[in-house]
C-alpha cells in the first residue's frame, strides 16, 4: 500500500494553471487528509509506504513524525513534484537530496525509497538511477509500463527487477491483455471504475502473475471538499475530480479484501539488499 503525499494543488495536471509561487496562498489540506489516512490504516491494521514531498514535510512535520512513529515506511517523492523531464542532472540531485535530508531530519529514519513525480522515469531520464544510487537510495517505484499522455514506458519490465546501477525498480502493476498493458495500480483508474471491477482486476493479477501487487493513491483523493481550481482543461478537471466522494468507501473495501504492507516488507527489499551485500563481499 503506497501513498504519494502531495496536496491537491501540486498535481502535474495543474502545473499550467497553478504556479509553485502561489502554493502558500492556497489552503493547505494535505496534513489533515494524511492524518485521516493514517487513522484509516490503523483501523485496518495496515502499514503503508508514504512517498512524501520534501515541501510537504517542511509544512507538516508532525504528520511525518506520526506516520513514522506508527510503523509506516517513509520514502521520497522528490522535493516539489517537478517532473524529471524538467530537470537536468544537477537540478535532480539538488531536488532529491534536499527532499531526502528534510524527510530524514524530520522523521528520524533513513530514507531509501523513491518515487518520481508522475512516474517520470523513462528512456530519456534513465540517468536518475545512477544518481539515486549515489544518494543512498536502494529502490525506486517510478515506472508505469502503460501508454499514457503524461507518463508511461509500455515496453519496460512489468515486475520488480534490479537495474544495472544497482537500484531495485518496482513498477506499478499492470494486466497484460491482447499485447497491451492495462493500468491497475490505483489512482484515477480506481476512482473511475466500480470497485467490483477493480477487485476483479487485482485478483486476476495476483492469480495469473504470482507477483506482489502495489497500490497507489494521494491524500487529496479522499477530500471531496477540496477547493475547485477554475479554468482547467476538461480532461484535467475530469481526472482530478471524478468520484472523489466515493474514494474513501472504496478504500475501506480494498483494505478489508486484501492484506497490505510496506514496499520494503511486501517485496522483501531488506532480504534482497542483504543478499547483494553478501554476494559483493
Q: What is the pLDDT of residues 240-257, one digit of tens each?
A: 999 999 999 999 999 999
CA angle 252, 253, 258 (to 5 degrees): 105
Q: Are residues 103 and 73 in contact, defined by beta-carbon separation less than 8 angstroms?
A: no
Say if CB 237 and CB 11 are below 8 A apart. Answer: no
- Residue 273 above 60 pLDDT? no
Residue 274 in this model has a pLDDT that exceeds 90 = no
In this predicted structure, what is the pLDDT of residue 120?
A: 93
What are 199's three cell numbers?
Answer: 477487485
How much of the chain exceeds pLDDT 90, in percent? 82
CA gap 85, 92 in Å, rounded = 10
Is 80 exceeded by the pLDDT of residue 239? yes
Mean pLDDT, the chain, integer: 93
What per-residue confidence (pLDDT) applies to 233?
A: 86
179: burial class by Cβ within 10 Å (0-12, 13-18, 19+)?
exposed
pLDDT value at position 190?
Answer: 95
The pLDDT, as a whole number, for residue 275 is 54
Number of domains in the chain: 1
Q: Name the residue among 90, 115, 120, 86 with its Cα closest to residue 103.
A: 115
| Range in 4-18, 105-119, 126-140 the model is least confident about | 4-18
User: How far apart are the C-alpha atoms of 188 and 179, rounded to whole Å?
Assistant: 23
Cell 490504516, residue located: 41
Which residue's entry shows cell 492495462?
A: 182
Q: How far is the CA of 53 from the CAs of 6, 105, 157, in angstroms?
A: 6, 14, 26
Record the pTM.
0.94
Backbone angles phi, psi at 139, to 5 degrees: -145, 160
Q: Residue 215 in contact with residue 186, Cβ under 8 Å?
A: yes
Q: Check residue 147 and give its pLDDT.
A: 77
CA-to-CA distance for 7 and 34, rounded, in angstroms? 10
Which of the two residues, 70 and 270, has the higher pLDDT score? 70
Q: What is the mean pLDDT of residues 122-135?
A: 96
Report pLDDT for 13.
84
Report the alpha-carbon distance of residue 185 to residue 171 in Å, rounded: 9
Which structural domain range is residue 186 located in?
Answer: 2-280
- Specify the pLDDT at position 103: 98
260 closest CA partner among 186, 189, 209: 186
Please state, in angstroms and rounded to a whole number, the distance separating the CA atoms of residues 209 and 75: 27
214 pLDDT above the threshold of 90:
yes
Q: What integer pLDDT is reported at residue 280 of this predicted model?
A: 41
DSSP structure class, residue 258: S
With cut-offs at 50, 70 and 90, classify the pLDDT of residue 149: low
Average pLDDT over residues 136-163: 88
Taking residues 102-127, report their average pLDDT: 96
In a 10 Å sphere around its CB, with 0-12 CB exposed, 13-18 middle and 19+ buried, how is residue 188 labelled?
middle
CATH, residue 229: 3.20.20.370
pLDDT of residue 150: 65
Residue-wise pLDDT for 50-84, tens only, equals: 999 999 999 999 999 999 999 999 999 999 999 99
For residues 102 and 114, what is the distance between their CA atoms, to the nearest angstrom?
14
Amino acid at each position: 500500500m503506497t501513498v504519494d503525499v502531495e496536496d491537491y494543488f501540486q498535481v502535474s495536471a495543474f502545473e499550467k494553471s497553478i504556479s509553485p509561487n502561489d502554493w502558500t496562498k492556497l489552503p493547505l489540506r494535505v496534513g489533515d487528509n494524511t492524518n485521516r489516512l493514517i487513522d484509516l490504516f490503523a483501523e485496518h491494521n495496515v502499514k503503508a509506504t508514504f512517498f512524501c514531498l520534501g515541501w510537504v514535510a517542511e509544512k507538516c512535520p508532525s504528520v511525518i513524525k506520526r506516520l513514522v512513529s506508527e510503523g509506516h515506511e517513509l520514502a521520497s517523492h522528490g522535493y516539489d513534484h517537478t517532473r524529471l523531464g524538467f530537470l537536468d542532472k544537477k537540478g535532480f540531485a539538488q531536488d532529491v537530496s534536499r527532499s531526502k535530508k528534510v524527510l530524514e531530519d524530520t522523521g528520524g529514519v533513513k530514507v531509501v525509497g523513491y518515487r518520481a513525480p508522475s512516474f517520470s522515469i523513462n528512456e530519456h531520464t534513465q540517468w536518475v538511477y545512477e544518481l539515486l544510487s549515489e544518494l543512498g537510495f536502494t529502490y525506486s517505484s517510478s515506472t508505469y509500463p502503460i501508454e499514457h499522455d503524461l507518463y508511461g514506458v509500455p515496453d519496460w519490465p512489468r515486475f520488480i527487477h534490479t537495474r544495472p546501477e544497482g537500484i531495485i525498480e518496482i513498477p506499478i502493476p499492470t494486466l497484460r491483455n491482447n499485447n497491451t498493458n492495462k493500468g491497475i495500480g490505483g489512482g484515477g483508474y480506481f476512482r473511475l471504475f466500480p470497485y467490483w471491477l477493480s477487485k476483479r482486476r487485482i485478483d486476476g493479477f495476483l492469480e495469473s502473475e504470482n507477483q506482489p501487487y502495489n497500490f497507489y493513491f494521494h491524500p487529496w483523493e479522499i477530500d471531496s471538499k477540496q477547493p475547485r481550481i477554475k479554468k482547467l482543461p476538461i480532461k484535467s478537471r475530469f481526472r482530478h475530480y471524478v468520484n472523489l466522494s466515493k474514494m474513501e468507501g472504496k478504500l475501506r473495501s480494498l483494505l478489508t479484501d486484501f492484506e497490505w504492507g510496506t514496499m520494503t516488507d511486501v517485496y522483501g527489499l531488506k532480504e534482497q539488499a542483504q543478499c547483494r551485500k553478501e554476494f559483493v563481499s
